[in-house]
Amino acid sequence: MRALPTVMAGAPKSLGEGTAASIQAHGVLAGLDSEGLVTHLSANACELLGRLAPVLGERLRLEHVAGDAQLLASLSGPQSTNFFEADALRHRQVALNGRSFDLLVHRHPGPTLVEWEWCQQEPMRQELGPALHRIVQNLRRQDTAQALLEEAVRSVRAVTGLDRTMVYRFRREDVGGGGDVVAEACIPELPSFLGYSFPDEAIPQATRRLCQLNAVRLIADAHSQPVPVFNLDPSARPLDLTYAVLRSPEPLPVDYLRQSDMGAAMTLPLMIEDQLWGVIISHHRTRLQVPYPTRSICAVLAELVSAQLQSQLAQDRIARERQLEHLRSTLLDQMQSAVETAQVLSARSQEIAEAFGAEAMLVSHQSSLHAHGPVTPQLWSTLRRWLSESGVDDGHAYATDSLALAAPALADELGGWAGLLSISYDASSQGRILLLRRERLDTVTWGAWPVLSERARTLHLVQSSEETLRGFSKPWAHEDVAALDALGADLRRLVAARVAEMHRYRDAVSAMLHARPDTAASPGTDEPEGRFERVLHQAMELSLLRQGVRPLIRTPVDLGELLAERIGAAQQRHHGTSIYFETPAVHEGEAAIAVQGEPDRLARLFDGLLENAVRHGHAGESVVVRVGREGSEALVEISNISPPIAESVVAALFSPTVPAAIDDSRSGLGFGLYVGQTIALAHGGTLTYTYDDPFVTMAVRLPLEPAP
């Protein structure tokens, strides 16, 4: 995105500074102290009110307030210091000096403000009730947010007669700020602004704050000069006119109107959950003072639109949250009985991606990558490595709509992908969910806005232009991020429960493996029902096997065929895992590499070693399996890229009391290497560990089958 110029340096720094001591020319303003004395008065009081103009240092008289003695009495005396308890605004219509005025009294904390706004146009009176009823009914009939906004601009324009009325929606700060024109009603003679975008500088924060505090803001004549407000005490600070109807506008919007050949403007806030969601902005080609009663009607309509818009957006959000909650509940139900959470997530990856509006998804677990969508394994590995190193998704969901900005070092590898939503749910086993969105090539039409020339210190208008934005995806909604956060929390609790359960079974199996032959019960012939009952059954057999009580049933086993079968099974369990199988060339007449053994036991040996290699190897790197002859022995080596095992641990590597850090108790009971060594020893062989940077290798040696 192009660099945007900074806003005018002379803009008000706070709501009480800058132009706060001046008003627009179509009215008179007075400020009263707690005794009812006029302490502030606009310079045009005599011009508009003649001999009835208030006088600095004196009290107002009955004729100033349409003979309302009660109102006059209320202008003096103590005020509430609580804004919400203050008498915020009173309105009367009065006739002074041959002119009609809307009399407005503000009783906020601080000086009381009294304004006389000159009525130069008759407010809408004919059939006001029926007309408003029709407008309200039309607004309430709209069943989508967009339809509501389109009806709102038509209604406001119909009530005011302004040439153009738009809804300008502010973007979230986390997706770049600024805003867009999302609805418009306009006369044919003016160009449409619908779809135009504007940077943050177009509506500064001070202006937005004023929109929040005032139900309606009017610039009646962009070409008139502001009228100063005199102070009875020249040394006192200028009067704060934040809530004044006649308050002079900031220089930026006035200059924008002038350079755009517009004469008047009106702004209505759209508030959602007490935040400024957007504004209804109206422009007119000539000077136009929309009467105060008409503006009040528009303010009520804006509040109605805000309430209905908030309700519609809430309904949309609730429907979205329910959809994601149903998916989350379904996943958790399936995970309760699954061996690995990653398998459930992988099996439903397409459904999950579609629910989150993603075009690709990755579930990583240990060294396995379960991918959905057209993303290269290299990019998946790169993203996972970046997330692990940066830790941005540890403990909570991480979202960005521009990976190129979030991780500039990866920009050349993204290949059109831009949005990432991810969470790490199990750091120990590298458990992580990644969702990707493609880059969205948007042609943005930038509307014209005024900026300050640093050299000449004058305002000039940046002309409209088009720009193609690259490197950004559709932003992730708050509901998406919250849903993945909730799923991640559920997965962390599930993993913690599994680990605790594994430790309980680990203790039971450890006791069984150390049982004496005469005390170990012989396994029955009935197949145990539960998963851990089967594990205990196998542990009992293993104990008897290691102690020589349980003999092997030996048959010739072709190691090449057996390994190919077990490698295929491992790749089925860990979709996306690369396992390279290296076998020696077989010459004519040469026998296959075969041993005498029990096929099921040997299969369990190689399954366990393959599982360890896949689990502990670096993500995206291949596991390498070699089989060959070495003298009178068959040699099988299973290698993976991984850091070496600490020397203090290697000595106890094949012990049933090995720490859980070696055998990951999230996926098993932690006896894998002990089981493997037991099976190798029972076949007259060995199982050993070596490290040759960067490979960890487990080597199985078994006696070759004697030649016939």
Crossing angle for the helix pair 478-513 and 531-546, to the nearest 10 degrees = 30
Which of 3-17, 173-187, 313-327, 634-648 shows the lowest mean pLDDT across its residues?
3-17
Pairwise CA distance, residues 449 & 118, whole Å: 31
Looking at the fold, whether 160 and 305 belong to one and the same domain comes out as yes
Q: Which residues of 107-140 are buried (b: 16+ CB within 10 A; e: fewer)?
A: bbebbbbbbbbbbeeebbeeeeeeebeebeeebe
| From 18-22, 163-167, 228-232, 348-352, the region with the lowest mean pLDDT | 18-22
Among the candidates 76, 91, 118, a domain finishes at: 118
The DSSP code for 36 is S
- Condensed to tens digits (0 to 9), the pLDDT of residues 279-295 reads 999 999 999 999 999 99
Alpha helices in 337-460 (DSSP H): 341-347, 349-355, 377-390, 403-406
φ, ψ of residue 158 to 5 degrees: the values are -65, -35
Q: Are 325 and 278 contained in the same domain?
A: yes
Of residues 182 and 451, the one with the higher pLDDT is: 182
Higher pLDDT, 58 or 539: 58
The predicted structure's pLDDT at residue 461: 53
* Domain shared by 484 and 587, yes or no: no
Name which residue leads in pLDDT, 149 or 571. Answer: 149
Q: List, for residues 174-225, the tens digit of each pLDDT value.
A: 555 788 999 999 999 999 999 888 888 778 788 888 888 889 999 999 999 9
Which is more confident, 61 or 448?
A: 61
Domain finish residue from 118, 150, 172: 118
What is the structure's pLDDT at 665?
A: 42
pLDDT of res. 420? 95
Chain segment 660-672, per-residue pLDDT in tens: 444 444 444 456 7
Structural domain contains residue 17: no
Q: Kindly tell me if the per-residue pLDDT of 536 is higher than 90.
A: no
Structure tokens at 299: 């303010």
* Structure letter (DSSP) for residue 149: H
Considering the domain architecture, whether residues 274 and 370 belong to the same structural domain is answered as no
Residue 302, pLDDT score: 96
- 407 Cβ contact partners less than 8 Å away, ≥ 6 residues apart: 386, 390
Other C-beta atoms within 10 Å of 67: how many?
12
Burial class (CB in 10 A: 0-12, 13-18, 19+), 40: buried
**Residue 236 included in any domain:** no
Asked if the structure places residue 307 within a domain, the reply is yes
User: Which of 164-178, 193-207, 604-618, 649-663 is predicted least confidently?
Assistant: 649-663
330 and 341 co-located in one domain: no
Q: Are 614 and 574 in contact (CB under 8 A)?
A: yes
Mean pLDDT within 683-691 = 93
Q: What is the mean pLDDT of residues 376-386?
A: 88
Please report the pLDDT score of residue 206 as a whole number: 81
Give the dihedral sign, CA 543/545/546/549. positive
CB neighbours of residue 360 within 10 Å: 19
Domain count for the chain, please give it. 4
DSSP string, 668-686: S-S-HHHHHHHHHHHTT-E
- Quick check: is 238 in a domain? no
Residue 366 lies in a domain: yes
Distance CA(400)–CA(420), nearest Å, equals 5
Mean pLDDT across 13-32: 71
Same domain, 633 and 691: yes
Task: Name residue 248's amino acid.
Answer: S
Q: What is the pLDDT of residue 628?
A: 93
DSSP string, 306-336: HHHHHHHHHHHHHHHHHHHHHHHHHHHHHHH
> CA torsion sign, 617 to 623 to 627 to 631?
negative
pLDDT at 133: 85
Does residue 353 share a domain with residue 327? Answer: no
Q: Mark which of 74, 101, 118 sits at the end of a domain.
A: 118
What residue has token string 């990856």?
349
Asked whether residue 114 is domain-assigned, the answer is: yes
Q: Are 276 and 298 in contact (CB under 8 A)?
A: no
Q: What is the mean pLDDT of residues 123-142?
A: 77
- For the cut 50, the answer to whether the pLDDT of residue 590 exceeds it is yes
- Do residue 304 and residue 345 come from a single domain? no
Catalogue the E-assigned strands of 471-540: none
Q: When comparing pLDDT for 357 and 447, which is higher?
A: 357
Q: How confident is the model at residue 123, as a pLDDT?
A: 56
147 and 210 fall within a common domain = yes
Query: Looking at the structure, do residues 291 and 191 belong to the same domain, yes or no?
Result: yes
> Does 537 score more than 80 pLDDT?
no
Task: Give domain status of residue 239, yes or no.
Answer: no
Question: What CATH code is carried by the domain that includes residue 410?
Answer: 3.30.450.270
Verify that 350 and 496 share a domain, yes or no. yes
The domain in which residue 456 lies consists of 1-7+123-228+249-335+443-469
Q: What's the mean pLDDT in 406-426? A: 92
Q: What is the largest CA-CA distance in the chain?
A: 131
CATH of the domain at 314: 3.30.450.40
Highest mean pLDDT among 119-133, 184-198, 381-395, 508-522: 184-198
CATH of the domain at 625: 3.30.565.10
Over 60: is that where the pLDDT of 5 sits?
no
pLDDT tens sequence across 550-562: 678 889 999 999 9
Same domain, 188 and 310: yes
The pLDDT value recorded for residue 1 is: 31
Query: pLDDT confidence of 76, banded at 50, 70, 90?
Result: confident
Query: How far are the Cα atoms of 193, 507, 519, 540, 617 from residue 547, in angstroms, in the given order?
Result: 85, 20, 12, 11, 33
pLDDT higher than threshold 50 for residue 3: no
Average pLDDT score over residue span 366-382: 83
Residue 573 domain-assigned (yes or no): yes
